[in-house]
Chain A
Amino acid sequence: MHYATAEERVSTRGRRITWRRRDGTHHFDAPSTPIERVAGRSRLARRAARLDKCNVVPYSNEDRLVVIRRGVVYDLELATGRWRPTLRLSQCRNLLHGSIARHRSTLIFGEYGSNPQRRPVPIHASHDGGRTWHTPMRLDPGQARHIHHAAFDPFTCTYWLTTGDLDGECWLIQLSESLELVAIHGDGSQLYRTCHLWFTEDAVFWIMDSPLQLSYVVRLDRARSQLARLQPMPGPVWYGTTLSDGVALAATAYEPGPSVSDRYAHLFASRDLERWTEVARFSHDGLPRRIFKFGVISFAEGSCSSEGFWVSGEALCGLDGVSWRCRLDDVQGLSSDPWQRLRADLSATLGLEDPETLKDQRPSFRHCSPSALLALDRGSSAWAEAITRFIGVRRAEIRQRVNHRWPDIERREASVLAVSAFLLRCAQTRGDARYVNAAATLLSEAGVRRASVFNPLSDPQRSPSARAQSLVFSLLHASLDRLGREGRP
């Protein structure tokens, strides 16, 4: 799915473009060779030969599409269905999704090719909605390998382009509306390597797209030109978007590299661009990545809200060559305190009695019911010590004890999550890594694992305990990340 609004959708499959509009559904087949047409019947062949790749920008009021496919930019008119080539790309066949800056009738993009000789990378622009093109600038030879992304910044009325890939090649290039160079931000390092930018009045945000270094959320303060490295992510982020109700989405890619922590593509959401919460993850399908593509999630452009937005995926279990319409069911919760959310989730799941009455109980594992734990102040170290000691000393009994005390699976899982969440919060407030260890041990011994695949279509009413599970594992991973950096959870 390339583009989606309430009134229209543009999607592609192989060489076929489908444009659904109020006046009906229109199909267009891209020019191709007989070999492409035969190979295009197999999804695996399409993956291996990259036959699915294309970029589409609709101009609905003019009844036409701008399409980039296999190194050619086309102007495609709805009325005639004619594919009119308007530009031939010199270094690439396609661009990353959503990497064409569009402002009124101006379109800007830079080429995204492998460019092993580091030739000057051309930046193309059109001021008539893609009917004609010119090349207002080229990067200096060796300045960058290619352009990742181009975006229009509505707060300064400038265009931003991001470059990559290696150290010394990652820059943020700011151009005026008349396409003159305003500034080049960055030092070329991986910190400035990104495929998507988010703009606010005060800052520019991005998430690093570095398989070489741990990728962070980065905030560039406009006034002070200060850079802040915020939350770490489990992999490089290729695609991002902002929904019409202000929720930002970003997705990590599963690709080779030391910064890729697991075999999942993770989908994150945020309301403030600073704190990101994982909302889904998809496992790679296991086929060789260099040939059959990395695990990637992309988003449709256009205007969608968190009540219904589109994600597309490649090389992921259940999300390969297809798009899903998804809904975020806890938008307000994205920016609230994870502990408060956990309490609310678990209280709702379990229908707990008034936890205030349990506050004075003597700390022991026997009393570690969700009710008791939710009643506790997060700094209650006596409880955390008692539970940590029990888990540490009687580790082998945990599974048996947990199963005996909480025989109902749903309740057992919720109880284990509550205990773990409590320990992780204590670990954060008291800076004690032993509590993180106890939480990780308890989750392992009790057999509570994070759901590997969450299908928003088949599970639209994601249960509160599933959310609680996601929160606890987010807390755990955040604590482990912090331990790796600072030695304190």
Chain B
Amino acid sequence: MTPRAALLSPSIKSYYSIATVEKLTALGVEVPLVVVRRMVTPSRIRDELRRDGTRLLKKAFSKLVLREPATPGVPSIREELTEAALKEDHLLRTCRRLGIAIRLVSDLNDPEAVDAVARSGAQGVVFTGGGLIRQPLLRATPRGVLNCHMGILPRYRGMDVVEWAILEDRWDHVGLTVHLMDDGIDTGPILRKVRVDPTGLKNFTDLRKKLHAAMPSTVATAATEYLSGQLRAQPQQVKDGKQYFIMHPSLQRVSRAKLEASGPRSPP
């Protein structure tokens, strides 16, 4: 039986969503529906400002204006896209090319979005961003929602976990974890962990770029194997990890200095 997965996307310009759709289809997963959150809505701006504060402007500028500029020697998510997708530069066009239905919503938890996912016939959902997911959407498909977290679970849950791992000298805890989402923050059962060596990278921008580039194939492979029954989820205990929050600039400076000082040596 062909695995079927719907995809949730934070915006029509998301390279991560475009690359994941392409990888899923290339791996033989049928993608019946892509649900995309509208980029500019008052509630979204309010929610993201509440979460990110002024960092939101920097983030928006980096993602929408700079569009992930290439750094020599650092993998970029653009390299994960096919030539056609790069040319299209738009999730709508890619979905049209691949024959995938697409639905624009103001919030991924809107009843119409939940209903569309439930009726798409997807076994599971791949989440590529777009805000908090609530229970109805989590239960809309039989096998749940998969997320690729930019940190190693269960130790590092929450925000800025790349910086937190370096700050705490846990160099072996930098990487990606694909897990099933539940109503906690990054507390759902774990499907796959991929560790990434952070040493030798000059800054967190490059490290995040390297992690970002690895995300589409990591989540697509894990989703394919999970939906076809080759991969089993391992539950995690709440006590096994900590939830981290946005890092204050004073701690960021310390973390950045550690990364810069890491040089080309191997992690301790």
Segment of A90-98, A104-112, A435-443, A451-459 in the binding face: A435-443
A392 touches B (CB below 8 Å): yes
Please pick, from B242, B250, B257, the residue contacting A440 in the complex, using a CB distance under 8 A. B250
B233 at the interface (CB under 8 A from A): no
CB within 8 Å for A444 and B248 given contacts A433-B167, A487-B167: yes
Q: Which residues of A contact B251 (CB under 8 A)?
A: 433, 436-437, 440, 480, 483
Tell whether A388 is near chain B: CB-to-CB under 8 Å: yes
Query: What is the 8 Å Cβ interface bit string for chain A, positions 391-434, against chain B (1 contact, 0 not)?
Result: 11111110000000000000000000000000000000000111
Q: Using Cβ atoms and an 8 Å threshold, which residues of chain A touch B159?
A: 392
> Please, what's the 1-or-0 string for B158-197, where 1 marks a CB less than 8 Å from any CB in chain A?
1100001001111000000000000000000000000000
Write out, one digit per residue, whether chain B residues 225-265 have a CB within 8 A of any chain A CB (1) or not (0).
00000000000000000111111101100100110000000
Main SS of the interface on chain B?
Answer: mixed
Q: Which of B55-92 contact A (CB under 8 A)?
A: none
Question: Interface centre among B169, B243, B254, by most A CB within 10 Å?
Answer: B254
Summed over the interface, the residue pairs from A and B with CB atoms below 8 Å come to a total of: 61
- Contacts A433-B167, A441-B248 hold; do A483 and B254 have CB atoms under 8 A apart? yes
Contact A437 B254 (CB under 8 A): no
A441 partner residues in chain B, CB cutoff 8 A:
245-246, 248
B164:A433 contact, CB within 8 angstroms: yes
- C-alpha gap A391/B248 in the complex (Å): 11
Q: Do B167 and A483 have beta carbons less than 8 Å apart?
A: yes
Closest chain-A Cβ to B253's Cβ sits at a distance in Å of: 8
CA distance in complex: A51, B53 (Å): 52
- Residue B45 at the A interface, CB < 8 A? no
* Chain B contacts for A293, CB-based, 8 A: none
Task: State the Cβ distance, B222 to closest chain A Cβ, in Å.
Answer: 28
Residues of B within 8 A of A444 (CB): 248
- Selected contact of B242 from candidates A393, A394, A434, CB within 8 Å: A434
Contact A488 B168 (CB under 8 A): yes
Among A393, A396, A480, which residue has its beta carbon within 8 angstroms of that of B49? A396
Give the residues in chain B near A440, CB-CB below 8 Å.
248, 250-251
Q: Give complex CA distance A173, B50 in Å.
A: 60
A185 beta carbon closer than 8 Å to chain B: no
From residue 453 to 486 of chain A, which have CB atoms closer than 8 A to chain B? 476, 480, 483-484, 486
Min CB gap A322→B, angstroms: 33
Contact between A393 and B164, CB atoms less than 8 A apart: no
Looking at A397, A432, A480, A484, the one whose CB has the most chain B CB atoms below 10 A away is A484
Please name all residues of chain A whose beta carbon is closer than 8 Å to the beta carbon of B168 when the two chains form the complex.
433, 487-488
A330 to B254, CA, bound (A): 32
**Smallest Cβ-Cβ distance to B253: which chain A residue:** A480
User: In the complex, A252→B53 CA distance in Å?
Assistant: 36
Query: Taking CB as reference atom, which chain A residue is nearest B185?
Result: A393
Bound form: Cα–Cα A397–B53 in Å? 10
B245 contacts A393, C-beta separation under 8 Å: yes
Q: Determine how close the nearest CB of chain A comes to the CB of B248; give it in whole angstroms.
A: 4
Contacts A440-B250, A444-B248, A484-B254 given; does A395 touch B53 at CB 8 Å: yes
Q: Which residue of A lies closest to B255 (CB)?
A: A483
When distances are taken between beta carbons in the complex, the residues of chain B under 8 Å from A486 are: 169
Distance between A393 CB and nearest chain B CB, rounded to angstroms: 7
Contact A434 B49 (CB under 8 A): no
* A389 interfacial by beta-carbon distance below 8 Å: yes
Q: How far does the alpha carbon of A488 sit from the alpha carbon of B258 in the complex, in Å? A: 13
Docked complex Cα distance between A389 and B49 (Å): 18
Which of A394, A434, A436, A488 is within 8 Å of B244, CB to CB?
Answer: A434
Let me know if B257 and A484 touch, CB within 8 A: yes
Whole-angstrom CA separation of A487 from B167 in the bound complex: 6
Chain B residues lying within 8 Å of A394, measured Cβ to Cβ, are: 50
A438 and B250 contacting across the interface, CB-CB below 8 Å: no
Q: Which residues of B contact A393 (CB under 8 A)?
A: 245
Residue of chain B at shortest CB distance from A393: B245
Chain B residues near A437: list those with CB within 8 A: 245, 247-248, 251
B interface vs A, CB < 8 Å? 49-51, 53, 158-159, 164, 167-170, 242-248, 250-251, 254, 257-258
Interface residues, chain A, CB within 8 Å of chain B?
388-389, 391-397, 432-434, 436-438, 440-441, 444, 476, 480, 483-484, 486-488
- 5 A-B pairs besides A392-B243, A396-B49, A487-B258 with CB distance below 8 A are A389-B245, A395-B246, A433-B164, A483-B251, A487-B170
Across chains A and B, which 4 residue pairs bring their CB atoms closest together, nearest first? Answer: A392-B245, A487-B169, A440-B248, A396-B50
A-B contact pairs, 21 of them (CB 8 A): A388-B245, A389-B243, A389-B245, A392-B243, A392-B245, A395-B51, A395-B53, A395-B245, A433-B164, A433-B168, A437-B247, A437-B251, A438-B245, A440-B248, A440-B250, A441-B248, A476-B250, A480-B251, A480-B254, A483-B251, A484-B254
